[in-house]
């Protein structure tokens, strides 16, 4: 029998890093809380087939490198630290043809004391993570994708679901007023070249949120598409947007047996099952 | 052999409820997102020993009741809705001697559109829950406890750990400057009688946070105690405070092998193991 | 204002330990996979009130100690290793008045190769943990409790729920045939003195399982009580049994709208809400 | 600006289903515990762009359909029930061009009473799920993939990691004897046509496990490749195997500070960071 290795990838995942950045002029601290994943692929056939490790940069070394480079460099934008790491690993491993660095940043808010922001005390923010994915392929321009993971948003008006296909197994009632809730994941790919990453991220996120809030939704698909299109409209430096939105169903509590109406007031949030809606939208010609 | 039932409790847990409250004068929605647990105990020996269910109010009925009462009443403060539920269940079940209602409220922030808060769109807040526990024992005054669950806070200065006991197995180095991070859980019991629950909660939470931020910490125990004492100092209506603080260790990344120093800049956040510190503090005589 | 510390506890939680025990005569390995929690309380008022750490054995030292004692000793029964640790920490900390050591053991099954158990390869078992809790109070006999955490069991016959209290909010239908499923947690306290812990654990677990399987259940309470009583009946060395059983509801899928019956065939397993039933049973006089 | 929808998918995820199958001749029950995900894509541009739902089969209907078809049909092999569902949804939705059905089956073991398997009582097995993925594209032969998710396996011998690339950031020590542990995910694609799915699954799983156990491992990559190749060797009906193996690191506890050696006896299991190794292997020409 003949078998062949058709794809391979290895690396270190879930490298946790907190960096405290101190100002020189006051006592204000800034904290950066990142989870870094490194994945490499390339000419690693002999590693798999004959157990030859001579071209393998250990994943433990990758981990050490993340901490060391975080010490040697100002982190800057996630995309910049990601690009630094990707370039380093492409250098460090001759056999690697492709290095993908994914950075998720976790938010912290400054605590307030006597109504003023405190110098060095923080509260963890929501479960949202801000994502940068830098893909470096030997001999090609680096590709940069940004995104948001697990942004939980809900609108309690301007969401309908009507006029759909019905068959023997349909029991869902049409509604012109339902709760729309999701834990959005979005990824947007930047065009190659100079991008003001911080500014671009803020603009993209703002348009996602504002579109979600103000859209007259006929379905999750309808709103998801509008959100993606809004990012493309806002940011000329974005080429493609992919969004995933689970439909986190909120069921109307059934109160009729108790002689009570329920005019979209009392809902049962549910975890499973959930709808799952995904689409990719790109700039047309 | 003779055996006896020495304690019993039953009820429904994890009843999820989202209520949309609409203003009459504008189109602004308020959402309340609660998880309710009901637990009852009392004269239920025959349920256990001989399978006689005649005095058992089903937990399914408890669930229905929570949704129905949420429809019939303005929720108000968590403690008020909890007291309403506790009184109801004590009435509904003759055999019950004690009903404990626990309400956890999950935070949502209003989304902003064009810099202004939106009427009906929201973003999930942090993992912190705000807690009310109402305990109704037949023939006694109701006991009300409030609290906070899973408030993740971190300070990057003013935290030391020195001068501790050392033995054969001690390798920890003393430090006058470490990261102190925790996922705080706090419970404070109110004195019986009229309490302005919303105001009291805000005051207690503010003192917990401000004390954490500004305390010159010699240990987790030291800061935990100061936080509990601050609540008792702030709120004459609070009789006792219990706090649990896991010590979420942030280890200094070891960079010396790479010829780099690390002056409290680069840390490795860890999940396990963790220190676990608990104490209860009450008003003295 | 005067405040006082009314209780305190500190220690290290979630100390993860895997020990490989090798046979001298063949190449068979045995693995023990434990999570250890240490909690201490005692004369630690000054730690809290004035930040004096001179009597504090660091939780980091506790962690080191667990690994070192695991190296120096054969682990033996969980209860024995727990007792060793508890005694050690009571010695190591003059200020401690009470040490509680909790050990959870996670199961692994030996893999089979060509139908025979393999010497050193294993598959993780179910989510069940086997528990030992050793409580050492200075000057008193050690107290030993064993138990089971998260044993998920289900019976698809011999479970009814009928004849219960009904009120305005009751919609549940009586049933003489439902699914009973739970993630059982049990703790049983041994009488002081010599106990064959391994044998006792196996006997208690077997009676819990066999009683669950064969009981003609009128309610979760009814079966829970029978299970606890069966352990007391089996084991003269057990003084008290506490059991917690969430009722993991399996709802009959509603198929009538599709012209289909559903004679207890197709169910929807649900996670929330869930019933929560707890009771403690002890040997009577 | 012009934008275009380049890919889309929608469906219902996490449909939980438990079916009790009763024998006609004795009282033995068999339970099947499945999680089903349905995903559809096709000519749904108008749903996204203009909010026209007329061709949308609601995900709620998908859920109902899974329960109804589970009632109307013997479930049989996962792959067969998946194919039934996929064909149904392609029929039910004219606009769909592709339907993917993923079924994860969760294991239960029969409880023993007096040493004999009980008729209707079960214990949840490990966290491993058994997977079938059926992909139906209109006008093409159905594609069937089987697999295993989250099989946690460990070997405490015959695993080395030596001879790797070293650079400035390498601190890892070479070892000829380490613990190799993973939570394996595997997927293997069957050739089109008649396959004895149950038999094929058992054979593939057995070879994965036996190869893991007996392989003289030079690295995770080395063992992963051997496992995939073994499946291709065993099963002529398998065309391609993809395996993902996180390297769940077990660190040697550092006992030298206490004057103790540690000859691969006492380990610290860690959750993060972890190595992540993936590869796909297919039959060559």
pLDDT tens for C39-49 read 999 999 999 99
Neighbour subunits, A (≥3 Cβ pairs < 8 A): B, C, D
Strand ranges (E), chain A: 3-13, 15-22, 29-42, 96-113, 116-137, 143-155, 180-190, 238-247, 250-252, 266-269, 274-283
Which pairs from C169-175 meet CB under 8 Å and 24+ separation? C169/A258, C169/B61, C169/B64, C169/B65, C169/B68, C170/B58, C170/B60, C170/B61, C170/B64, C171/A257, C171/B60, C171/B61, C171/B64, C172/B58, C172/B60, C172/B61
Q: How confident is the model at residue B235 (pLDDT cuts 50, 70, 90)?
A: very high
Q: Which architecture, in CATH terms, is D149-285? A: Roll (3.10)
Decide if pLDDT at C1 tops 70: no
Q: How close, in Å, is residue C273 to chain A by CA atoms?
A: 10
Q: How confident is the model at residue B125 (pLDDT cuts 50, 70, 90)?
A: very high
d(C-alpha A67, C-alpha C168), whole Å: 62
CATH annotation of A148-285: 3.10.270.10
Q: Is C59 a catalytic residue?
A: yes
Which SS3 state, helix, strand or coil, does residue A44 take?
Answer: coil
Helix (H) or strand (E) holding D201, with range, is: helix D197-214
d(C-alpha D267, C-alpha B226), whole Å: 38
Q: Are A10 and D278 in contact (CB under 8 A)?
A: yes
Question: Do you find a cis peptide bond into A273, omega within 30 degrees of 0?
Answer: yes
Q: Is A249 a catalytic residue?
A: yes
Helix (H) or strand (E) holding B98, with range, is: strand B96-113
Partner-chain contact B273 C225, CB within 8 Å = no
Does residue D168 sit at the B interface (CB-CB below 8 Å)? yes
- Which of chain A's residues have a Cβ under 8 Å away from the Cβ of B256? none
CB contacts < 8 A (A, C) = 9
Partner-chain contact C266 D67, CB within 8 Å = yes
CATH annotation of C150-285: 3.10.270.10
Superfamily of domain B7-140: Urate Oxidase; (3.10.270.10)
User: Which neighbouring-strand residues pair with B184?
Assistant: B151
Partner-chain contact B269 A156, CB within 8 Å = no
pLDDT of residue D2: 87
Q: Which architecture, in CATH terms, is B151-285? A: Roll (3.10)
Output the average pLDDT for chain A. 97
Same fold, D1-140 and D149-285: yes
pLDDT of residue B25: 80
Does residue C61 sit at the D interface (CB-CB below 8 Å)? no
Which SS3 state, helix, strand or coil, does residue D48 take?
Answer: helix
A95: exposed, middle or buried (Cβ count in 10 Å: 0-12, 13-18, 19+): middle
Q: Say which of D59, D61, D155, D244 is annotated catalytic.
A: D59
Mutation site for D-interface testing, chosen from A67, A159, A279, A284 by largest number of D Cβ within 10 Å: A279
* Over residues C76-95, mean pLDDT: 98
Q: How close, in Å, is residue A257 to chain C by CA atoms?
A: 8
pLDDT of residue B179: 98
d(C-alpha D147, C-alpha D131), whole Å: 5
CB under 8 Å to B173, separation ≥6 — which residues? none
User: Six-digit token pair at C270?
Assistant: 């649900």
pLDDT of residue B2: 87
Q: Are A78 and A17 in contact (CB under 8 A)?
A: no
Decide if pLDDT at B262 tops 90: yes
Strand ranges (E), B114-237: 116-137, 143-155, 180-190
pLDDT of residue C183: 98
Nearest to A81, CA basis, from A137, A122, A38, A140? A38
Q: Which architecture, in CATH terms, is C8-140? A: Roll (3.10)
Q: Say which of D88, D106, D248, D249 is annotated catalytic.
A: D249
Which SS3 state, helix, strand or coil, does residue A89 take?
Answer: helix
pLDDT of residue B1: 67
Q: Are B165 and B174 in contact (CB under 8 A)?
A: no
d(C-alpha D77, C-alpha A158), whole Å: 44
Partner-chain contact D2 A53, CB within 8 Å = no
Which pairs from B172-178 meet CB under 8 Å and 24+ separation? B172/C58, B172/C60, B172/C61, B177/B264, B178/B250, B178/B264
Phi, psi (rounded to 5 degrees) for D108:
-130, 140
> pLDDT tens-digit profile of B26-81?
899 999 999 999 999 999 999 999 999 999 999 999 999 999 999 999 999 999 99
What does B47-96 look like in DSSP terms, one character per residue?
HHHH---TT---HHHHHHHHHHHHHHS---SHHHHHHHHHHHHHHH-TTE
Distance of CA A201 to the CA centre of its chain: 11
d(C-alpha C285, C-alpha B3), whole Å: 8
d(C-alpha B233, C-alpha B237), whole Å: 10
pLDDT of residue B246: 98
- Which of chain B's residues have a Cβ under 8 Å away from the Cβ of D272? 271
pLDDT of residue B224: 98
* Over residues B163-170, mean pLDDT: 98
Q: Give the closest of C113, C151, C268 to D210, CB-based.
A: C113
CATH annotation of D1-140: 3.10.270.10
Output the average pLDDT for chain C. 97
User: Six-digit token pair at D3?
Assistant: 């934008």
Q: Is B175 a catalytic residue?
A: no
Helix (H) or strand (E) holding B208, with range, is: helix B197-214
CB under 8 Å to D103, separation ≥6 — which residues? D34, D35, D36, D37, D78, D81, D82, D131, D132, D133, D134
D119-135 burial code (b ≥16 CB/10 A, e <16): bbbbbbbbbbbbbbbbb
Percent of chain B at pLDDT above 70?
99
User: Which residues, given as ranges, of chain A have pLDDT below 50?
Assistant: none
Divide the 285 residues of chain D into consecutive groups of 10 and give the mean pLDDT of each group.
Answer: 92 98 89 98 98 98 98 97 98 98 98 97 98 97 97 98 98 96 98 94 98 98 98 97 98 98 97 98 88
Map out the domains of chain A as residue ranges: 8-140, 148-285
Nearest to D162, CA basis, from D231, D205, D116, D222? D222
d(C-alpha B9, C-alpha B42), whole Å: 8
Neighbour subunits, C (≥3 Cβ pairs < 8 A): A, B, D
- pTM score, two decimals? 0.97
d(C-alpha B268, C-alpha D232), whole Å: 42
User: Six-digit token pair at C143?
Assistant: 């107290």
pLDDT of residue A1: 67
CA distances for A279 relative to C101, D9, D89, angstroms: 52, 6, 20
CB under 8 Å to B209, separation ≥6 — which residues? A111, A112, A113, A121, A123, B153
Q: Are A60 and D172 in contact (CB under 8 A)?
A: yes
Decide if pLDDT at C160 tops 70: yes
3-class secondary structure for B242-258? EEEEEECCEEECCCHHH
CA angle C111, C19, B166 (to 5 degrees): 165
* Over residues B220-246, mean pLDDT: 97
D38 half-sphere exposure, CB direction, 13 A CA radius: 32
Mutation site for B-interface testing, chosen from D258, D266, D273 by largest number of B Cβ within 10 Å: D258
């Amino acid at each position: 029998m003949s078998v062949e290795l058709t794809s391979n990838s290895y690396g270190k995942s879930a490298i946790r890093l907190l960096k405290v950045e101190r100002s020189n002029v006051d006592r204000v601290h800034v904290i950066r809380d990142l989870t870094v994943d490194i994945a490499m692929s390339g000419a690693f056939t002999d590693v798999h087939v004959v157990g030859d490790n001579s071209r393998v940069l250990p994943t433990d070394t990758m981990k050490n490198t993340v901490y060391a480079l975080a010490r040697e460099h100002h982190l800057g934008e996630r995309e910049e630290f990601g690009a630094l790491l990707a370039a380093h690993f492409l250098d460090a491993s001759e056999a690697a043809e492709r290095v993908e660095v994914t950075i998720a940043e976790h938010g912290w808010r400054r605590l307030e004391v006597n109504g003023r922001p405190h110098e060095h005390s923080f509260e963890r923010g929501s479960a949202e993570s801000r994502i940068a994915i830098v893909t470096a392929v030997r001999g090609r321009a680096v590709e940069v994708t940004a995104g948001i993971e697990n942004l939980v948003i809900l609108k309690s008006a301007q969401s309908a679901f009507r006029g759909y296909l019905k068959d023997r197994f349909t029991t869902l009632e049409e509604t012109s007023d339902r709760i729309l809730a999701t834990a959005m994941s979005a990824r947007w790919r930047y065009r190659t070249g100079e991008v003001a990453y911080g500014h671009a991220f803020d603009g993209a996120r703002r348009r996602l949120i504002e579109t979600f809030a103000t859209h007259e939704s006929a379905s999750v698909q309808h709103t998801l598409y509008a959100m993606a299109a809004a990012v493309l409209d806002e940011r000329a430096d974005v080429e493609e947007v992919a969004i995933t939105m689970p439909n986190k169903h909120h069921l109307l509590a059934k109160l009729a047996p108790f002689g009570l109406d329920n005019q979209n007031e009392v809902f049962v949030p549910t975890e499973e099952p959930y709808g799952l809606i995904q689409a990719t939208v790109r700039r047309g010609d």
